[in-house]
Amino acid sequence: MTEPTLSPSSSAARPVRARWLRGPGLALALLILVLAGGTAGFTLIEGWSAWDAFYMTLTTVTTVGYREIHPLSGPGEVFNAALIVAGVGTVLYTLSALMALLVEGELHDRWSQRRRGRMLSELDRHFIVCGYGRIGRIIAEEFQRQRVPFLIVEHDPHLAQTAVEAGLVAVSADATNEDMLKRVGIERARGLIAAVGTDAENVYIVLTARLLRPDLFIIGRAETEDARRKLLRAGADRVVSPYQIGALQLAQTALRPAVVDFVQLATSSENLELTMEQVRLEEGSDLVGRSIVDANLRQRFRVIVVAIQRADGRMEFNPSSDTTMNRGDQLVVLGPPDNLRKLEALAGATV
């Protein structure tokens, strides 16, 4: 994959210009002023030609130490002494300012850009999270806890920089742009989450991503019921409304607090003893075509099969022990995390 190059925003360019004017810009202006003043001084005091005066000034301020162009008079020697002090100091200041800009600015920016490009090219089976607002940050924190590879695409350069400072892989770009989605590896991605601030942008992101990857798993964020329908028509596999989920969570907590506590315990990445996971059965797996009791899942892996989502989307809750597992089925299982990893390896892949 070609290394992504991100266009600098005007807000990001302003600090660079200010830093240039405060450092190297001021130093170069002082150096030019010293060279012009020295040339004018030797011309007026000694009566030399402009070239001889400039050459004498240049060899003086750079401490080259060649012989004097012409013998100096008393006033000329005094002027030359002052020029040595002012000129040498200015040259040293200019060189240090230029080196500081080169090392701290340009080289650092180039190194950071190369590092980001390398990290993007190495991502595989990752999630693309579009938006780093309140919802995007929660998603990123959860992915971090579960060690799921992902990257952030955020249009606001300030929010993108906040994500980078938090140690995340993030780019400041428009997630509705096809070329940008290709650069962040949509062809290798595991899924995409459209969680920007407006429904219209989320619909357009989902539509663009679906056109690029017809088989990609896409989740869209919706604020209204109308937006939910449009996201589904645009190609989203799932649509989530934070307000609706929050309201349902509050209601369920009020009515069934023990059930809510159990679900949170089972799905929390911080719980080291019990986890609920989703395991997909791939072609060639030893589990395909066998029943739950025949595969001996409970004894071998100490897991409970809570439900089976069939390849056609049907969900079978609390399946009986003689239920047959087929290719493409997704087992919703509950058990110790280490044992679930072994089950995933046997099944062939995770979802």
Q: What is the DSSP string of 265-319?
A: HHH-TT-SS-EEEEEEEPTT-TTTT-BHHHHTHHHHH--EEEEEE-TTS-EEES-
Residue 253 placed within a domain: no
Q: Which H or E element spans position 349? A: strand 348-350
The one-letter code for the residue type at 20 is W
Identify the residue whose tokens are 């012989």.
67
Question: 142 lies in which domain range?
Answer: 124-246
Residue 234 placed within a domain: yes
Residue 3 placed within a domain: no
Q: Of 70, 87, 121, which residue is a domain's last?
A: 121
Tokens of 141: 């924190």
**Which CATH number does the domain housing residue 102 bear?**
1.10.287.70
Distance of alpha carbon 271 from alpha carbon 268, whole angstroms: 6
Residue 262 placed within a domain: no
- Quick one: 280 and 311 in the same domain? yes
DSSP state of 186: T
- Quick one: 27 and 88 in the same domain? yes
Structural domains of the chain, count: 3
Residue 151 placed within a domain: yes
- In this prediction, residue 254 carries a pLDDT of 94
Q: Of 121, 147, 166, which residue is a domain's last?
A: 121
- 38 phi/psi in degrees, rounded to 5: -65, -45
Closest CA to 170 of 6, 12, 1, 2: 6
- Quick one: 283 and 216 in the same domain? no
- Quick one: 285 and 326 in the same domain? yes
Q: What is the pLDDT along the chain (351 residues), one digit of tens a residue?
A: 333 444 344 444 455 455 555 567 777 888 889 899 989 998 999 889 999 889 888 888 887 766 777 888 888 888 888 888 888 888 888 888 777 766 665 555 666 667 767 777 788 999 999 999 999 999 999 999 888 999 999 999 999 999 988 989 999 999 999 999 999 999 999 999 999 989 999 999 999 999 999 999 999 999 999 999 999 999 999 999 988 888 998 999 999 998 888 888 777 766 667 888 899 999 889 899 999 999 999 889 999 999 999 988 899 999 999 999 999 999 999 998 889 889 988 998 443
- Quick one: 113 and 145 in the same domain? no
- Quick one: 43 and 131 in the same domain? no
- Quick one: 69 and 150 in the same domain? no
- Quick one: 234 and 280 in the same domain? no
Q: Of 100, 121, 142, which residue is a domain's last?
A: 121
Residue 289 placed within a domain: yes
**Which CATH number does the domain housing residue 216 bear?**
3.40.50.720
Residue 53 placed within a domain: yes
**Does residue 34 contact residue 56 with C-beta atoms inside 8 Å?**
no
Specify the pTM.
Answer: 0.62
- Quick one: 97 and 150 in the same domain? no
85 by DSSP, 3-state: which? helix
- Quick one: 14 and 112 in the same domain? yes
- Quick one: 113 and 165 in the same domain? no
Residue 260 placed within a domain: no
Distance of alpha carbon 216 from alpha carbon 187, whole angstroms: 9
- Alpha helices in 47-73, H assignment, sequence order: 50-61
**Which CATH number does the domain housing residue 345 bear?**
3.30.70.1450
Distance of alpha carbon 228 from alpha carbon 301, whole angstroms: 39
Tokens of 156: 């606001």
- Quick one: 92 and 197 in the same domain? no
**Does residue 167 contact residue 274 with C-beta atoms inside 8 Å?**
no
Distance of alpha carbon 339 from alpha carbon 303, whole angstroms: 8
Query: Which class for 179: exposed (0-12), middle (13-18), buried (19 or more C-beta within 10 A)?
Result: exposed
**Does residue 279 contact residue 334 with C-beta atoms inside 8 Å?**
no
